[in-house]
Amino acid sequence: MGAEPYVNKLIKRRPPAAEFSSANIAPLLTRIYSARGVTDECQLRLTLNELLKPNMKGLPEAASLLADAVVADARILIVGDFDADGATSSALAVLALTAMGAHHIDFLVPNRFEYGYGLTPEIVAVAAEREPDLIVTVDNGISSIEGVAAAQALGIAVLVTDHHLPGAQLPNADAIVNPNQPGCGFPSKNLAGVGVIFYVLNALRRELGNIGWFVEAGITEPNMAQFLDLVALGTVADVVPLDHNNRILVEQGLLRIRAGVARPGIMALLEVAGRSCESLVAADLGFAIGPRLNAAGRLDDMSIGIQCLLSDDFLAARELAVALDDFNRDRKAIESGMQREALQMLEGLNVEADGELPWGLCLYDGRWHQGVIGILASRIKDRHHRPVIVFADADDGLSIKGSARSIPGLHIRDALDAVAAQHPDLLHKFGGHAMAAGMSLAKDDFNAFASAFDAEVRRQLSNDDLQAVVLSDGALSEAEFSLPLAQQLRAAGPWGQHFPEPLFDGEFKLVQQRIVGEKHLKLVLAHQANDQTVIDAIAFNVDLDVWPSSTTTRVRAAFKLDVNEYRGRQSLQLLLDYIEPLD
């Protein structure tokens, strides 16, 4: 979230992607919805009865497996991922299974520095010490061929719930639920891990209800809507596309949080982040809560984040939230240093390549922090608009771990698959999504991999793909620069990945400019048609080599209408995603 250096950006206005009109919706909002693929008002209905039916492959088997475990009072162990999606998935599974009568329920998150990602044989050995009868993976497992086999060799049943793209071979688990597995007819492939386990737990509740478990056990059948705050947080934080189904899950979770009935841990995280629950929007989950939760998994132990979400006591949750906030501050400091080193490295690459960077950019420094390389890859990707993989040393001293971020036009996991097919000995393992992935390889193979990755990116992309584009919803009239419109757009969400918040563009006269918070640009702009119409604006994380600019009197900007709240007073503020001087 922030304004990047202006030299690499091109503003383009979105064409309407669908024919859509409604007498009930203002024309500007109709145009915005249309450009996001909305063709019918039913796509804007966000009630729970609009959720897709639970027709996922493996769901009946998963519900039966879990129901047998609950009824038999079996020991169930949740194995999660070390990010916000994994944390919310783990917390949801523990809370919901407990509410359904499971007495022996625990969770385990692999420490990323010792065990890496997923259900590995090494983490199975750790899990076995707790003597589980059933392991349930959340937000991982679809690639855990060896780990599932290791668990079953020990007599431990395994249920895999995941949303990541599968490889050519699936694990031989007792049941697999993943909308992206072959043969799954579930219409939305965009569920986050927390969305998948939410569907699984709903199916379990139905199964237990059908066999009369709740009556027999004297348990009130839980209302699964009480867990939607966790589903919303994990969905937004994992940056999955907000299709209609995900928008329902997020909106319903936001409604609970705004009503003050969220988990104490979420409320505590909001407090330490300085966010009001009453006016919360999806972006607050993504930019304020998600990073604080992720910081535990990046720097220390995600169990702290899960315990925060599990806590029923606000004061205890607040202590954990403060610890997470401290981790996030440390993460920012580490990231800032790594970014400076990476930019110096890029300057050297520019010199070596006569000014042209590789199209597929790989960076490695043995001193970099494993937990922060993903964020660094994202920052470099945003700055230079090309696929980026950042590597750090693994703990064995012989291999390196990489975190990849991609741009539109390149499916990063498929690109890695292509590299692996052409160079079978390079990659030890890899997995991920279209826009993000992780991998490991031998340290000595870094240069060979970097060359192979660049070649694959060049094969798939064109020069036009390397031009960063800012997609705008057009210009606003002078009258539309108003607090009521900003409030209306804010309420018209949830906005997010693939359903982006409305972004407009225009030219302004620059009245005032100053740096605040070390690298944020605070401005006063005047509407080009009327000098008397002045508007406050802010651009985060600007290029300090460009701003503030003593010679600039006019700017072009891409911006969002934002509601700024200060001491109980609301005012209009522009959030600048992009700014360039015109003179």
pLDDT classification of 7: cutoffs 50, 70, 90: very low
pLDDT classification of 302: cutoffs 50, 70, 90: confident
Higher pLDDT, 17 or 485: 485
Asked whether the predicted pLDDT for residue 83 surpasses 70, the reply is yes
Angle between helices 193-210 and 228-237 (to 10 degrees): 150
Helix, coil or strand: residue 573:
strand
Backbone angles phi, psi at 163, to 5 degrees: -135, -5
DSSP letter at 289?
I
pTM of the model: 0.91
Query: Among residues 10, 1, 3, which one has the least CA distance to residue 521?
Result: 3
- Report helix, strand and coil shares of the chain as percent, to nearest 5: 45, 20, 35
pLDDT classification of 254: cutoffs 50, 70, 90: very high
Query: Among residues 86, 275, 270, which one has the least CA distance to residue 262?
Result: 270
504-516 vs 554-566, strand pairing mode: antiparallel
Give the pLDDT confidence score for residue 5 in this predicted structure: 41
Give the pLDDT confidence score for residue 11 in this predicted structure: 93
Q: Give the pair of three-digit tokens for residue 489.
A: 């757009």
C-alpha distances out from residue 535 to 236, 553, 562, 578, Å = 30, 15, 11, 16
pLDDT classification of 112: cutoffs 50, 70, 90: low
Residue with tokens 């050297």: 348
Q: Is 205 exposed, middle or buried (0-12, 13-18, 19+ CB in 10 A)?
A: buried
Average pLDDT, the chain: 92
* One-letter identity of residue 382: D
The CATH fold assigned to 6-38+470-581 is OB fold (Dihydrolipoamide Acetyltransferase, E2P) (2.40.50)
Is-contact 144 159, C-beta < 8 A? no
Q: Which CATH architecture has domain 357-466?
A: Roll (3.10)
Q: Show the CA angle centred on residue 65, arms to residues 430 and 310, nearest 5°.
A: 70
Q: Is 1 exposed, middle or buried (0-12, 13-18, 19+ CB in 10 A)?
A: exposed
pLDDT in tens, 218-247: 999 999 999 999 999 999 999 999 999 999
d(CA 150, CA 160): 14
Cis before residue 494, ω within 30 degrees of 0? Answer: yes
Q: Is 23 exposed, middle or buried (0-12, 13-18, 19+ CB in 10 A)?
A: exposed
d(CA 476, CA 193): 38
Is-contact 467 385, C-beta < 8 A? yes
pLDDT in tens, 303-361: 999 999 999 999 999 999 999 999 999 999 999 999 999 988 988 776 555 558 899 99
**Would you tell me which CATH number, out of the four given (3.40.50.2300, 3.90.1640.30, 3.40.640.10, 3.40.50.1460), belongs to the domain 52-326?**
3.90.1640.30
Backbone angles phi, psi at 236, to 5 degrees: -70, -45
Query: Among residues 75, 89, 83, which one has the least CA distance to residue 137?
Result: 89
Taking the CA of residue 374 as centre, how many other CA atoms within 13 Å lie in the half-sphere pointing to its CB? 17
* Rounded average pLDDT over 145-160: 97
* Rounded average pLDDT over 439-465: 96
Q: Is 210 exposed, middle or buried (0-12, 13-18, 19+ CB in 10 A)?
A: exposed
pLDDT classification of 259: cutoffs 50, 70, 90: very high
- Asked if 52-326 and 357-466 have one fold, the answer is no
Asked whether the predicted pLDDT for residue 279 surpasses 60, the reply is yes
Spans of all domains in the chain: 6-38+470-581, 52-326, 357-466
Residue with tokens 């992780």: 438
Give the distance from CA 440 to its chain's centroid: 22
Q: Give the pair of three-digit tokens for residue 524.
A: 């006063």
Is-contact 330 297, C-beta < 8 A? no
530-539 vs 520-527, strand pairing mode: antiparallel
Buried b (16+ CB within 10 A) or exposed e, 248-278: bbbbbbbbbbeeeebbbbbbbbbbbbebebe
Q: Is 399 exposed, middle or buried (0-12, 13-18, 19+ CB in 10 A)?
A: middle
β-strand partners of 534: 526
* Rounded average pLDDT over 372-377: 94
pLDDT classification of 424: cutoffs 50, 70, 90: very high
Give the pLDDT confidence score for residue 519 in this predicted structure: 86
Is-contact 388 363, C-beta < 8 A? yes
* One-letter identity of residue 371: G
Give the pLDDT confidence score for residue 3 in this predicted structure: 47
Give the pLDDT confidence score for residue 6 in this predicted structure: 42
Q: Give the pair of three-digit tokens for residue 425.
A: 């000995």
Asked whether the predicted pLDDT for residue 441 surpasses 80, the reply is yes
Q: Show the CA angle centred on residue 119, arms to residues 114 and 121, nearest 5°.
A: 75
Q: Give the pair of three-digit tokens for residue 203.
A: 């199916």
Higher pLDDT, 126 or 543: 126
Buried b (16+ CB within 10 A) or exposed e, 404-420: bbbbeebbbbbbbbbbb
The three-state DSSP-derived secondary structure of 502-556 is: CCEEEEEEEEEEEEECCCEEEEEEEECCEEEEEEEEEECCCCCCCCCCCCCCEEE
Give the pLDDT confidence score for residue 104 in this predicted structure: 96
Q: Is 313 exposed, middle or buried (0-12, 13-18, 19+ CB in 10 A)?
A: exposed
Q: Give the pair of three-digit tokens for residue 381.
A: 């990707």
134-138 vs 104-108, strand pairing mode: unpaired
106-115, 272-281, 322-331, 423-432: the lowest-pLDDT one: 106-115
Give the pLDDT confidence score for residue 212 in this predicted structure: 97
